[in-house]
Chain A
Amino acid sequence: MIYAYFGVAIAGLILAAIRFSIGPTVSDRLVALDTMTTITTAFLVLLGLFFERYIYIDVALIYGVLGFVGVLTMARYFEGGL
């Protein structure tokens, strides 16, 4: 069951990564990066379930916070008003 979770989540991640690499404008890439951050946060929690380690939950929390701050900063920067 958990391998099915991994497969479906990685398929979504790969589709977002394709858009990240071919996106015509910078906003397309940023939206794809935001999606990849959210999917990776959920994927780290799934990894914690797979390895039965509680520390992955902390890693997912910190990754979510830092990814949110990064995407917000880049959006403000490309708008021109950092």
Chain B
Amino acid sequence: MEQILEYIGMAVTSIGVIFLFLGGLGILRMPDVYNRMQAGTKATTLGAVGTIIGVGLMHPEWFFKTSIIALFILLSNPISSHALARGSYRIGIKLWQKKKIDAYGEALKNVKKEEEAD
């Protein structure tokens, strides 16, 4: 039984580590800040959660605390990426030149129009 758990943990850790590498690659290769944010937060969230849960499966007596760390990363990463995206839009960093749609900018314009109409 422990042998089976160790093999499952090794597989999950391998998937997680590969996603950590893909997150770093996306940070380097993507064209603008918002695309980099997608790669750097989503991929590393899956990667870190996979790695940490995999280590917890390899050592079942550590599983409680590793699952606490994984839960914390799962909760905290979207918050920090949201703050970063909002902050970088507010200080005027342009979107990529090939962008198709800018939903946040349109929403901000609509809010301004409603304020002027009032």
Contact = CB atoms under 8 A, between A and B. Distances in A.
Contacts, number: 153
Interface residues of A, number: 44
Interface residues of chain B: helix, strand, loop or mixed (majority): helix
A68 B33 CA distance: 19
B87 interface: yes
Interface string B58-90: 110010011011001100110111011011101
Contacts of B33: 25, 27-28, 31
Nearest to B43: A35
B74 to A, nearest CB: 11
A25 B24 contact: no
A76 B40 contact: no
Given A5-B17, A27-B84, A34-B80, A12 B24 contact: yes
Interface string B29-65: 0000100110011001101100110010011001001
A38 B46 CA distance: 10
Chain A interface mostly: helix
Contact of A39 (B23, B86, B90): B23
A60 B84 contact: no
Interface residues of B, number: 48
Contacts of A54: 62
Contacts of A25: 33, 88, 93
Contacts of B40: 16, 31-32, 34-35
Given A31-B84, A38-B45, A45-B55, A15 B69 contact: no
A12 B25 contact: yes
A13 B24 contact: yes
Interface of A: 1, 4-5, 8-9, 11-16, 18-19, 25, 27-28, 30-32, 34-35, 38-39, 41-42, 45-46, 48-49, 54, 57-58, 60-61, 64-65, 68, 71-72, 75-76, 78-80
